[in-house]
Amino acid sequence: MRGASSRDQSAEASNTSLFSEDELKNLKSNFESGGVDKVVSLIQKRFNDLDNIELNIAVTGEAGTGKSSFVNAMRGLQINDEGAAEVGNAENTMEPTGYKHPSLPNVILWDLPGIGTVKFPANKYLTHIKFDKYDFFIIILHCRFTENDVKLAQAIKRLGKKFYFVRSKIDSDLDAMKRGRRKFNEEEELEKIRNYYIMSLKEAGITSPQVFLISNFDLHLYDFALLSKVLEDNLPSLKRSVYILALPRLTLEIVEKKKKELKMQVWRLASLSGVLGAVPVPGVSLGCDIGILIGGIIHFRKCLCLDDASLQRLADTAGKPVEELKAVMKGPMVGEITPDIINRLAWGSSAVVITGLELALDFIPIVGSIFGAGSSFLMTYKLLSGALDDLTENARRVVKAAFGTDENDPK
Per residue of the chain (411 residues), give pLDDT as tens. Answer: 333 333 333 333 333 345 555 665 665 566 556 655 555 566 556 655 666 788 899 998 887 788 888 898 888 887 887 888 887 655 555 788 899 888 778 889 998 887 766 676 666 776 777 778 899 999 998 777 778 888 888 888 888 888 899 998 888 888 888 876 778 888 888 898 889 888 888 888 888 888 999 888 887 788 888 888 898 888 888 788 888 988 877 788 889 999 998 988 887 777 767 665 554 434 334 445 677 778 888 888 888 989 888 888 888 888 889 999 999 999 888 787 777 777 676 655 545 445 554 544 444 444 344 344 556 777 788 888 889 999 999 999 999 998 876 544 544
* 258-294 burial code (b ≥16 CB/10 A, e <16): bbeebbebbbbbbbbbbbbbbbbeeeebbebbbebbb
Asked if 106 and 54 count as a contact pair (C-beta separation under 8 A), the reply is yes
Q: Which residues 6+ apart lie within 8 Å of 51 measured at CB?
A: 106
The amino acid that residue 294 corresponds to is: I
φ, ψ of residue 213 in degrees (nearest 5): -95, 125
Tally the residues of the chain.
411
φ, ψ of residue 209 in degrees (nearest 5): -75, 150
SS3 at position 399? helix
Best CATH choice for the domain 55-246 from the list 3.30.360.10, 3.40.50.300, 3.30.420.40, 3.30.70.20: 3.40.50.300
Q: Give the model's pLDDT for residue 350.
A: 47
Asked if 71 and 85 count as a contact pair (C-beta separation under 8 A), the reply is yes
**CA nearest 171: which of 139, 210, 219, 231?**
219
Asked if 148 and 115 count as a contact pair (C-beta separation under 8 A), the reply is yes
Q: Torsion angle of alpha carbons 18, 19, 24, 30, nearest 10°?
A: -80
C-alpha span between 340 and 29 (Å, rounded): 38
The amino acid that residue 314 corresponds to is: L
Q: What is the DSSP letter of 211?
A: E
C-alpha span between 156 and 288 (Å, rounded): 47
Residue 230 bridge partners (DSSP): none
C-alpha span between 39 and 31 (Å, rounded): 6
Q: What is the DSSP letter of 85?
A: P
Asked if 60 and 96 count as a contact pair (C-beta separation under 8 A), the reply is no
* 197-219 burial code (b ≥16 CB/10 A, e <16): bbebbeebebeebbbbbbbbeeb
The strand order across the sheet containing 211-213 reads 97-100, 107-111, 55-61, 136-141, 162-167, 211-213
Residue 55 bridge partners (DSSP): 107
**CA nearest 125: which of 101, 146, 100, 104?**
146
C-alpha span between 266 and 296 (Å, rounded): 8
Asked if 101 and 246 count as a contact pair (C-beta separation under 8 A), the reply is yes
Asked if 115 and 151 count as a contact pair (C-beta separation under 8 A), the reply is yes
What residue ranges of the chain are covered by domains with CATH 3.40.50.300?
55-246
Angle between helix axes 237-246 and 224-234 (nearest 10 degrees) is 150
